[in-house]
């Protein structure tokens, strides 16, 4: 599959500048980088794409939460938008921040979805679902004209797969589903341990849709679109965390500034 042409722009506004951010600085390599400030910077840059009257998909996770908070400030200042949250957690955040909400039953398409990711590759394929929201996130992104993924630049990878691939499954027949997943992995040229995600309390993590998550520790995924296709046809798999061809732009915040990567 040919690698699509991309355009990259570098925004030299320093991270953590006028926007400000909370959160403790975390050590990364030799430098101390406030990852939370970078996430907020990426969210703020994506917010510049939001126009009055837009119907928005609101992502889930620590980066998307910054976007919802900043959007709430715009709404308080008079901006008219409506959002469809991708999780119960985001719904609660949006209500707290005063962002008006709607559903995909009331509107059948969205202008723009802004969401985070666990990994982003050069084709803007993503791994998502670290927070367990991948099903609603994919439904919402698929119903949107555009998806902008926002992240600190540690999420940018040469190849997807270092982050365990979340696969949302039906608990019924799980061993058979996992066997089918293992065959799909083999066909796609990957293999690895499958771990049923646990909640803090020790029982299986249950998604907003009432399903379980299997985290597949695969390592480098050579052909993400092929693996996505193979997983999608397994009956016990509700959805997987490979987002192929959905993101049209990535906004990546790093110590040197903000990088915007477009997919064509
Ligand atoms: O299920 C969770 C979502 O896919 C998140 O967007 C993803 O895990 C990234 O989250 P964060 O911004 O907290 O790293």
Domain spanning 165-240, CATH architecture? 2-Layer Sandwich (3.30)
pLDDT at 84 over 90: yes
Alpha carbons 205 and 252: distance in angstroms, whole number: 29
The DSSP H or E segment spanning 22 is none
What ranges do the domains of the chain cover?
Answer: 6-157+245-263, 165-240
| Residues 48-79 as b or e (16 or more Cβ within 10 Å = b) | eebeeebbbbbbbbebbbbbbbbbbebbeeeb
Do residues 15 and 38 make contact, with C-beta atoms less than 8 angstroms apart? yes
Start-to-end Cα distance in the chain: 14
- By CB atoms closer than 10 A (0-12, 13-18, 19+), residue 202 is exposed
Residue among 119, 137, 168, 239 flagged as catalytic:
137
pLDDT at 262 over 80: yes
pLDDT for position 19: 36
More confident residue, 261 or 29: 261
Single out the residue of 119, 155, 121 nearest to residue 134, CA to CA.
119
Q: Which fold has domain 6-157+245-263?
A: Rossmann fold (3.40.50)
pLDDT for position 264: 74
Q: What is the pLDDT of residues 40-58, one digit of tens each?
A: 999 999 999 999 999 999 9
pLDDT at 5 over 70: no
pLDDT for position 101: 98
Alpha carbons 179 and 149: distance in angstroms, whole number: 32
Alpha carbons 169 and 175: distance in angstroms, whole number: 11
More confident residue, 193 or 16: 193
Do residues 152 and 254 make contact, with C-beta atoms less than 8 angstroms apart? yes
Cβ of residue 133 lying under 6 Å from some atom of ligand 1: yes
pLDDT for position 24: 36
Cβ of residue 154 lying under 6 Å from some atom of ligand 1: no
For residues 186-200, give the mean pLDDT: 97
Cβ of residue 129 lying under 6 Å from some atom of ligand 1: yes
The DSSP H or E segment spanning 143 is none
CA of 218 relative to ligand 1 center, distance in Å:
19
Q: What is the DSSP letter of 192?
A: -
More confident residue, 14 or 76: 76
Percent of the chain with pLDDT over 90: 87
Residue 137 Cα to chain centre, angstroms: 7
115 is in an annotated binding site: yes
Alpha carbons 131 and 125: distance in angstroms, whole number: 18
pLDDT at 8 over 60: yes
pLDDT for position 26: 40
pLDDT for position 174: 98
Q: What is the pLDDT of residues 10-20, one digit of tens each?
A: 554 544 433 33
Q: What is the DSSP letter of 228?
A: H
């Amino acid at each position: 599959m040919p690698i699509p042409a991309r355009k990259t722009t570098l925004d030299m506004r320093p991270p953590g500048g006028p926007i400000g951010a909370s959160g403790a600085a975390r050590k990364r390599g030799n430098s101390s980088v406030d990852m939370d400030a970078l996430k907020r910077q990426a969210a703020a840059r994506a917010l510049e794409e939001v126009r009055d009257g837009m119907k928005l998909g609101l992502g889930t996770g620590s980066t998307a939460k910054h976007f919802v908070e900043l959007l709430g400030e715009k709404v308080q200042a008079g901006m008219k938008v409506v959002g469809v949250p991708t999780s119960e957690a985001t719904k609660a955040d949006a209500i707290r921040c005063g962002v008006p909400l709607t559903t995909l039953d009331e509107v059948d398409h969205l202008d723009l979805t802004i969401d985070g990711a666990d990994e982003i590759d050069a084709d803007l394929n993503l791994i998502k679902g670290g927070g367990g929201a991948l099903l609603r996130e994919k439904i919402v992104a698929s119903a949107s004209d555009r998806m902008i993924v926002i992240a600190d630049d540690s999420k940018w990878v040469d190849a997807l797969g270092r982050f365990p691939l979340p696969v949302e499954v039906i608990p019924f027949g799980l061993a058979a589903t996992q066997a089918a997943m293992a065959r799909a992995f083999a066909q796609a040229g990957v293999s690895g341990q499958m771990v049923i995600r646990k909640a803090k309390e020790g029982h299986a993590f249950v998604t907003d849709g009432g399903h379980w998550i299997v985290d597949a520790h695969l390592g480098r995924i050579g052909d993400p679109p092929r693996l996505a296709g193979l997983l999608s046809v397994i009956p016990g798999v509700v959805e997987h965390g490979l987002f192929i061809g959905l993101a049209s732009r990535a906004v990546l915040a790093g110590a040197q500034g903000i990088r915007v990567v477009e997919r064509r």
